[in-house]
Structure 1
Amino acid sequence: MKSVNPPPFATRLLHWFYASPQAEELEGDLDELFQQRVREVGLKQARWRYVRDVVSLLRPSLMKRKEKRYSKPTHTTMLRNYLTIAWRNLRKNTAYSFINIGGLAVGMTVAMLIGLWIYDEVSFNQYHPNYDRIAQVMQHGTFNGKVDSQVANPGVLGPEIRAKYGPTFKYVVQASWPGSYILSLGDNHVSKEGIYFEPDGPVMLGLRMRQGTYSGLKDPYSIMLSESVAKSLFGTQNPLGKTLKVGRKYAVKVTGVYEDLPYNTSFRNVKVIMPWALWLIDNPWAKTMRNPWGSNFSQTFAQVADHITMEEASGRIKNVKLANVSKEEARYNWVVFLHPMRKWELYSEFKNGVNTGGQIKYVWLFGIIGIFVLVLACINFMNLATARSEKRAKEVGIRKAVGSVRSQLINQFFAESYLVVSLAFLVAVLLVLVLLPPFNEIADKKIEFLWAHPQFWLMSLAFIGMTGLLAGSYPAFYLSSFQPLSVLKGTFRVGKWAAIPRKALVVLQFTVSIVLIIGTIIVYQQIQHAKNRPIGYNRNGLVTMGVEKEISDHFDAFRAELKSAGAIEELAVSNSPLTGVWNTNGGFDWAGKDPNLAVDFPNANVTYEWGKTVGWKVKQGRDFSREFATDSSAFIINEAMKQFLGFKNPVGKILKWDNKPYTIIGVVSDIMAESPFYPVRPSLYHITGSDYQGNMVLRLHAAKSPNQSIALIEQIWRKYVPNVPFQYEFVHQQYGAKFKSEERIGTLSAYFAVLAIFISCLGIFGMASFVAEQRTKEIGIRKVLGASVINLWQLLTKDFAVLVLVACVIASPIAWYYLTDWLREYDYRVTISWWVFVVAAAGALLITLITVSFQSIKAALVNPVKSLRSE
């Protein structure tokens, strides 16, 4: 039988996959087998079996090649590919990349600064090792029909708590109020803030001793210095055992040097600590007073024992004062309680006996602002990514057509998102380092970047992760959902519904921005409203300073010399400063008073010239005068007191104080001595004795410049007090300090509002660029048909203007609701006017139009020939 050739294509496959000798050998074997099968089963069947045998031989080789060709890349390779493509896209679209990275960087910078500020607030006082077990002993008392909470305590309260509730507490410490003290070492005189503590004070606070021990305050004539003060006085010498003078009275020995306290502690300004026993020596009246439980002049701090909770300890001591006071004092319903150190900074406000919060409201406020500003930046990323969807649709379609699955596309877009976020984070860190000093200045902080805190970096990684996820999720899932068939056939259209999410996000952006703008305006109005409030005296040209003993002993001579030199117009002394209340008293009675009403009023003892010096306004009766000897037993009251007493004409009425009769000789305008945001308390003024101690107020001569007057005052001061630094302060500066907290909040809110608007406008600018690019041919056709630049500008800007107006409508009620709630905290407050919302809306609209107009006019001025050339 004649030989038959096997199928040629199968033979060729053998030679493609095998080397020549092996292929020829295999071909010979298969050919012999093929000829045998032809004889046995026929030609057709033999050919199928020949192909089967060849495939069987080639299968292992084919599988190896397939595995080699199509083996999955490693995760590292995939990630590198994703990042490479992402980097190319960023470089290819520089404007888009700048807007995204810049917007996110600004948002992250704001969020980081706010985060550092919040961390500083919530970690306040954590420098002290036992801060969660330390508390200030406070008391509630019912005065004038309202519950008042105060930190001042009787000097006998601490010893009483130790005696009766010793096992409940680890330490109970009496302390003075912080004050400025002159330290003298030879001819070197410095003024530093200090405090008097019982010996357990330093160990309770956990001060970090650099030299000496905690037991240094056991000697009544000892002193502990902060490290900076010790260095300024002694340089590199060892200060232990050295003697200083406090004022000019007492020589004290340095028994300890402690590390300067950080700025975020309640005792941050305490640079000097002296023994409580020395304070009692300097103020002997504290031990000899007739009613020791009726005078609140000291502070009391305590550390609860380890086996008891703060609440239990507070409950045990609540009646410790009530059990010791007289029947008259018991009418105040004294309740002693503990205010934990962990709440001093954030929960320091009490209203009618209830802790209503405090600084914590600003922690929440700025925390929410930080989140919103970051969300605004993320919205820019999402909006710009989806706005570019038509340009990237073909990319998605082609990649899907060549085998990319949706998960790979999602990973690609997330890679782009995380690359942008990581670059933005690096830029944000640099911005934070640059902006931290001015931010500290505004916020009255000393915040440092947390380089050495692992928690910060862990939070930063989580921050990047969450931001990348938030910013990239919508583009990733949206763009990866495009169908390749419709994209590549050219029938893909984004559609009108695809723009709705972008428009909603733009509305959200401007809603937040407009709320911040309205809030900034209202905060500014509230501050100005309080600043413009009548203060009851003329603060222009008023200077205040302390009264040294030499001045008190020669008060009349000092006053006469200043006046004859033309330095001042008048001078007076009071036991309380003009801008504060340091003394209140009870024990008052008058005709028609409710016998069950317990009262307590600010009561200032002043010299005769007080009214003339401060320029108060006498509404009824007359001022104090040296011509009336009876004025030593007279009161001048303010208008709030007149209203409280219920007298239509109080002049001549008798007001008893501890059963001693005083005649009301005058009524003056309410003097703003305390917070300008709250009502002035009913107050009294009476003539001081011959001991002129307290605060001196001087009215500078109007005919001389302040510098000339101050120089003359200092010259005469040094004549009387040569070894004490001359220190003074203008009253308007002290009064201005009352607005610092609100001004700080207003300034920060204004900056955040500006940044929010900037981020929103950055996104609007980017979107306007893409809208103008997408509508290039439409603009060209309209120009050919006669449309003017104004017509085209209106066409491109009206959509954005409508979105901003919608945001204004949404933002206005939200802002009104929250700002009304904020203003309720102030008794003296501004009313929210309708024009504030109009101004905010007009401002946002104007900024938007300016932002969009650049791209709109640029697109409208393009030559239509260039736009339509591709058609």
Structure 2
Amino acid sequence: MIKNYLKTAWRNLAKSKGYSAINIGGLAVGMAVVMLIGLWVYDELTFNTYHKNYDRIAQVMQHANFNGKIGTQTANPALMGPELRAKYGSDFKYVVQASWNFNPLLSIGDKRINQEGIYFEKDAPDMLSLHMLKGSRAGLHDPHSILLSASAAEALFGDEDPMGKTITLDRSQQVKVTGVYDDLPSNSSFANVKVILPWSLWLIQNPWASQMEQPWSSNFSQTFVQITEKGDMESISSKIKNVKMDNVRDEDQKAEWVVFLQPMSKWNLYNEFRNGVNTGGGIRYVRLFGLIGGFVLILACINFMNLATARSEKQAKEVGIRKTVGSHRWQLIGRFFAESYITVLIAFVLSLLLVVLFLPAFNEVAGKKIGLPWLNPIFWTASLVFVFITGLLAGSYPAFYLSSFQPLKVLKGTFKVGRFASVPRRVLVVIQFTVSVMLIIGTIIVYQQIQHAKARPVGYTKNGLVNLSFQNELRKHFEAFRTELKNSGAIEEMAGAVPVTGVWNSNGGFEWEGKDPDLATDFPNNSVSYDFGKTIQWKIKAGRDFSRDMATDSSAFIINESAARFMGLEDPVGKTIRQGDDRFTVIGVVDDILQESPFFPVRPTFYHLDTYDAMVNIVLRLNPKQNPSQSISTIENIWKKYVDDVPFEYSFVDEAFGDKFKTEERIGKLSSYFAVLAIFISCLGLFGMASFVAEQRTKEIGIRKVLGASVANLLRLLSKEFVLLVTISCIIAVPVAWYYLGQWLSNYDYRVEISWLVFIAAAVLALIITLFTVGFQAIKAATANPVRSLRNE
């Protein structure tokens, strides 16, 4: 019997090649989309699971209540680790202090490479369960040791055994290779770390960290922990919440610091905090794309349902005959499900081919390194379940609807599908285009939000700015390097600073005349050199820039407009700001410079002159009258005169600024691609429905033409129902999209206002697509020779 079902189903598919192609094509695209989204979602949900104890690993973070507004940060004082070990050691298996990621220069002989690295305390390899290929996890016990990833070891040593070899770190420090570990997978928070160095070496290199008068007032390191097997993350987090408040000086207690643990399982998808509350993060995109994947599959299934039921009159006689010769309804249901599952299986094979074809491009857009897990039994089990559910979803309505026909009416020729038989099909078409229109609107709003943030004033001229790393030789010969570059005509100006597109340090404890005693402070405090303002072309609103002619500028501040407002200073120039025993005079006010997220307000910020030793970055302004490539080449040649053993590497500030939009742009691109595919699938179904309607009304069209109907009249006749259905879809989609997009935009302080023009544009686009899709079949039917359609009578 099953063999008979399959034979009959196959014959029906082969007989109706056009409808079969639409069904299979639509399902294949829908299943491919779902598969790609499923792989992406799985990669996101399994983030950091490579680390065996990831459910017990956490990062120590801090909330700080600044004047009623709670901020959250990952930076900690360097004493956080020792304090947790000393007072709460029984709650933790490991406590690890760490630096931020950096790019050290590794040299051995004539070979020099830059690899991303981090300084970790000695227990980090055990905590992260590194898979050691050579050596052991105990390699960081020696302060002059280094652990290399397999890729870093190969880049530096090739096929040679690296164990025990000495590497020169940043041309000044000798370290010995004590271990090689397997590269971490791309869905690990430490995937980019290729070099691990001992935290004890960092302390040797930075003696100021252990000589600070107020070590609890400065946050410049990270702290990671692994709780004990019997420990509870929430209870331990609650226990350590006052560890900083118990140690900071009185004036810093105004900020009300609360220390807490952020579990590793939440680092990737729950990394957003607003006013001290975890508001999610990447999880919203996992849910969004999960919904999109479900909707796209439903759209493809709707095509199958619609086309199957639309052809009900043609299949009615088969149902009548089968019932007359003794077939039970459940047997007929089985026959229709057989057709559904054959279609789905063929579509599944095609979808695998589509995924293989488009996965590299998908990875590039999504920023992933996902592959099809061909040998994973879980993948094939999930695929079988996926095929089963899709076949059930696509075939259930046609199977139960078609098997319900009465054989007597069918065989007597009195069977009619009824005036309400097309209602479910119309509802399904409305659902299809409601989803499609919502995706169109969402894509437009995401694009507008990104462009809105990109157009936001940044407070300086970012075009033509170039970043270089600050090498030791350049610290000694900075002025000579600058003078030679300017004389070459390659640059207009140059200065030392932290990167323009980031904040590396913030300080509290500032006082000024008229300050509220209860006001908590935490200002980004940027070290810059002379000519920084000229280099980035910041806009001075009041006062003046730093000047080489003013010796007192070594104890001066330039503040931004947000700082002036926050401090309540109507005329800040000349005012004194105190920090402990230090006194600083405000000499200028500049426009707010956008250094952090372009979607949130600029923080009150200070700029002060500092020695070159305190800076990590050189910023150059290229000469706009000279070709940029020629200028870069000139800069490189002069660089090599001063720094001959470090590769010349540079980056453009506008590219670094563009990186701030990566997540939103990635989501926008993926959404737009999925929207296009959803519309394509919907149009496939619409095309099939239009061709069926045109075929069903062939004789009516012929008679109307004979009686004088024009092509335009016939086009209107065949298109009006579909246009009406899409119009209803637009009416439903607009308020739903407005509500959910409003919720999404509420996550950004700096956001675009939703315009009704967006909804009108999406509706018009949907209608145009509908007219093009339906119009082709309508024109084809309207221009056909009426003699051919009537001669069969």
Decide: shared fold, TM above 0.5.
yes
| Residue number in structure 1 paired with 2:187 | 264
Q: Is 1:175–2:103 an aligned residue pair?
A: no
- 1:594 matched to 2:521: no
Aligned to 1:688: 610
Amino acid at match of 1:555: F
CA contact (8 A) 2:441 2:737 kept: yes
Moved more, 199-208 or 391-400: 391-400
Q: What displacement does 1:209 show?
A: 0.3
User: Can you list the C-alpha shifts for 1:376-413, whole angstroms capped at 9, x where unaligned?
Assistant: 00000000001000111111111111211111110000
Equivalent position of 1:111 in the other structure: 34
Match of 2:103, SS? strand
C-alpha distance in 2 between matches for 1:326 and 1:654: 22
Q: Secondary structure at the match of 1:496?
A: coil
**Shift of the alpha carbon at 1:195?**
0.5
Residue by residue over 1:440-491, the C-alpha shift from the partner in whole angstroms, topping out at 9 and shown as x without a partner, is 0000000111212212111111111111111001000000111111111111
When the two structures are superposed, what TM-score results if normalisation uses the length of structure 1?
0.90
Matching residue of 1:667: 589
Q: Which residue of 2 aligns with 1:102?
A: 25
- Structure 1 segment 199-598 matched on structure 2, within 5 A: 199-574=122-497, 576-598=498-520
Residue 738 of structure 2 aligns to a residue in which SS?
helix
CA contact (8 A) 2:528 2:615 kept: no
Provide the secondary structure at the position in 1 that maps to 2:116: strand
AA aligned opposite 1:630: T
Offset, 1:223: 0.5
- The aligned residue for residue 680 of structure 2 is 758
- Paired residues of 2:344 and 2:387 also in contact (CA < 8 A): yes
Partners of 1:86 and 1:690 in 2: CA distance: 78
Cα displacement (A) at 1:661 = 2.5
Contact 2:66 2:254 (8 Å CA) reproduced: no
Whether the aligned pair in 2 keeps the contact of 1:349 and 1:355 (CA below 8 Å) is yes
Shift of 1:144: 4.5
- For 2:361, give the aligned amino acid: P
In the alignment, the residues of structure 2 paired with residue 322 and residue 655 of structure 1 have an alpha-carbon distance, to the nearest angstrom, of 25
CA offset digits 1:171-216 (Å, max 9, x no partner): 1111111100100010000000001111100111000000000111
Deviates more, 1:139-148 or 1:534-543: 139-148
SS in 2 for 1:436: helix
1:605 CA drift (Å): 1.7
User: What's the secondary structure of 2:104's corresponding residue?
Assistant: strand
Instruction: Tell me the matched-pair count.
Output: 793
Partner of 1:190: 113
Percent identical residues: 65
Q: Would you say the 8 A contact 1:145–1:597 is kept in 2?
A: no
Task: Give the counterpart of 1:164 among 79, 84, 87.
Answer: 87
- Give the equivalent residue in structure 1 for 2:753: 831
- Mapped contact 2:443–2:668 kept (Cα < 8 A): yes
Give deviations 1:532-586, integer Å, cap 9, x for gaps.
1111101111101110111011111111111111121110111x21000001111
For structure 1, which runs of at least 5 residues remain unmatched after alignment?
Answer: 1-77
Structure 2 SS opposite 1:828: coil
What are the superposed Cα offsets for residues 417-461 of structure 1, whole Å, 9 maximum, x if unpaired?
A: 011011111110110111110000000000111212212111111
Write out the 4+ residue segments of structure 1 that deviate beyond 6 Å after TM superposition.
none
**One-letter amino acid of the structure 1 residue matched with residue 74 of structure 2:** V
Using the size of structure 2 for normalisation, the TM-score is 0.99
Query: Could you say which structure has the greater relative contact order, defined with CA pairs below 8 angstroms and 6 or more residues apart?
Result: 2
Using the alignment, how far apart are the partners of 2:508 and 2:651 within structure 1?
Answer: 31
Q: Say whether residues 1:86 and 2:27 are aligned partners.
A: no
Cα separation, 1, equivalents of 2:473 and 2:66: 38
SS of 2:64's partner is strand
Structure 2 partner of 1:815: 737
| Matched AA of 2:618 | M
Alpha-carbon shift at residue 275 of structure 1 (Å): 0.6
Q: Distance in 2 between matches of 1:241 and 1:660?
A: 48
Are the counterparts in 1 of residues 115 and 194 from structure 2 also a CA contact under 8 Å? yes
Query: How far, CA to CA, are the matches of 1:421 and 1:476 in structure 2?
Result: 15
Alignment correspondent of 2:772: 850
Q: AA paired with 1:606?
A: V
Task: State the 1:685 CA deviation.
Answer: 0.9
For 1:595, the aligned partner's letter is P
Are 2:43 and 1:120 aligned? yes
Q: Per-residue displacement from partner, 1:132-182 (whole Å, max 9, x unpaired)?
A: 110001111122542111111111110111111111111111111110010
The equivalent of 2:531 in structure 1 is 609
Q: Is the 8 A contact 1:573 1:692 kept in 2?
A: no
Q: Secondary structure at the match of 1:498?
A: coil
Partners of 1:530 and 1:513 in 2: how far apart?
A: 26
Partner of 2:763: 841
TM-superposed deviation, 1:353:
1.1
Give the 3 Å change call, closer, same or farther, for CA 847–482 of structure 1 in structure 2: same
Q: Output the CA distance in 2 between the equivalents of 1:538 and 1:527.
A: 19
1:703 matched residue in structure 2: 625
Check if 1:640 corresponds to 2:562. Answer: yes
> Distance in 2 between the 1:690 and 1:268 partners?
32
CA distance in 1, matches of 2:331, 2:491: 83
Distance of 2:247 and 2:609 partners within structure 1: 32
Q: Deviations over 1:716-763 (max 9, x none)?
A: 111111111111100011000011110001000100100000000000
The answer for the alignment partner of 2:662 in structure 1 is 740
Q: How does 1:6-21 map to 2 (within 5 A)?
A: none
Deviation at 1:310, TM superposition (A): 1.1
Secondary structure of the equivalent of 1:435? Answer: helix
Q: Tell me if structure 1 keeps the 8 A contact 2:527–2:614.
A: no
Tell me the residue number matched to 1:4.
none
Aligned twin of 1:776 = 698
Contact 1:137–1:338 (8 Å) recurs in 2: yes
Instruction: Please state how far the C-alpha of 1:131 moved relative to its aligned partner.
Output: 0.5
Distance 2:569 2:86 in 1: 47
Q: Give the Å deviation of 1:647.
A: 2.1
Amino acid at match of 1:280: L
Partner SS, residue 132 of structure 1: helix
Q: In the alignment, is the contact (CA less than 8 A) between 2:67 and 2:255 conserved in 1?
A: no
* 1:328-368 per-position Cα deviation (integer Å, ceiling 9, x unaligned): 22222111111000000000011111111100000000000
RMSD: 1.0
Amino acid at match of 1:157: M
* Alpha-carbon distance, 1:693 to partner: 2.5
Measure, in 1, the Cα distance between the counterparts of 2:539 and 2:148: 46
Give 2:82's aligned amino acid.
Answer: P
| Distance of 2:449 and 2:252 partners within structure 1 | 39
Corresponding residue number in structure 2 for 1:805: 727
Deviation, structure 1 residue 860: 1.1
Shift of 1:870: 2.2
Is this contact kept in 2: 1:145–1:598, CA < 8 A? no
**Which AA in structure 1 matches 2:544?**
R
**SS of match in other structure, 2:307:** helix
Cα deviation for residue 690 of structure 1 reads: 5.4
Offset at residue 314 of structure 1 (A): 1.2
CA contact (8 A) 1:796 1:856 kept: yes
Q: Where does residue 146 of structure 1 map in the other structure?
A: 69
**Could you tell me which amino acid in structure 1 is paired with residue 80 of structure 2?**
L
Counterpart mapping for 1:40-79 below 5 A: 78-79=1-2
Query: What is the alpha-carbon distance in structure 2 between the residues aligned to residue 653 and residue 254 of structure 1?
Result: 54
